[in-house]
């Protein structure tokens, strides 16, 4: 698939790692195959896309890598053990990739990790928020606008809604 993208699109300047699945099952109710699939899609795929597209960014010392994680990658949630673990993996992947780029002196390759609350995409269909004022279900267009702003301004971390920053601070 990566070769097809390179052929049809050409050089990739912005890589947005945005693949995700959720089982919504508690750990002891979740079949092993679904846990493995969650890790493969939400975490392992990040390695493959980075290995496919980031070397060219490093060579040109230009580009931007966006990792779509989740606030669940910073704080655990009951009933989402596999999802939270995979998004913690995504955050760790992103932080380590950023450190490797810095160690290489690839200052022109920027990174952004995105840690949103629930987004109204159907992935978490039926989920309700206990505090719609502080933690509203996010609209996809709003999230896209925030991501584009972050890319344009080289923000390293964005989380929405803003209350998530308090959650991340409280979690250490």
Strands of the sheet containing 63-68, edge to edge, are: 14-17, 63-68, 109-114, 157-158
- Catalytic, 83? Answer yes
Spatial CA neighbour of 44 closest among 23, 21, 64, 27: 21
> How far is the C-alpha of 88 from the C-alpha of 54, rounded, in Å?
21
> How far is the C-alpha of 44 from the C-alpha of 135, rounded, in Å?
29
> How far is the C-alpha of 57 from the C-alpha of 106, rounded, in Å?
9
- Quickly list H helices, 18-162: 32-39, 45-60, 81-104, 140-153
> How far is the C-alpha of 94 from the C-alpha of 97, rounded, in Å?
5
Q: Which of 48, 83, 117, 118 is catalytic?
A: 83
Residues annotated as catalytic are 83
């Amino acid at each position: 698939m990566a070769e097809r993208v390179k052929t049809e699109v050409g050089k990739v300047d912005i890589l947005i790692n945005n693949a995700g699945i959720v089982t919504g099952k508690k750990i002891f109710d979740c079949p092993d195959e679904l846990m493995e699939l969650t890790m493969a899609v939400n975490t392992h795929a990040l390695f493959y896309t980075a290995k496919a597209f980031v070397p060219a960014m490093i060579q040109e010392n230009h580009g931007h890598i966006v990792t779509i994680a989740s606030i669940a990658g910073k704080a655990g949630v009951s009933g989402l053990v596999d999802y939270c673990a995979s998004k913690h993996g995504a955050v760790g992947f992103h932080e380590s990739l950023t450190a490797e780029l810095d160690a290489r002196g690839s200052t022109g390759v920027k990174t952004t990790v995105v840690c949103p609350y629930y987004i109204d995409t159907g992935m978490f269909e039926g989920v309700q928020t206990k505090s719609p004022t502080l933690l509203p279900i996010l609209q996809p267009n709003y999230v896209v606008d925030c991501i584009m702003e972050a890319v344009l301004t080289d923000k390293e971390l964005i989380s929405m809604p803003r209350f998530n920053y308090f959650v991340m601070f409280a979690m250490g």
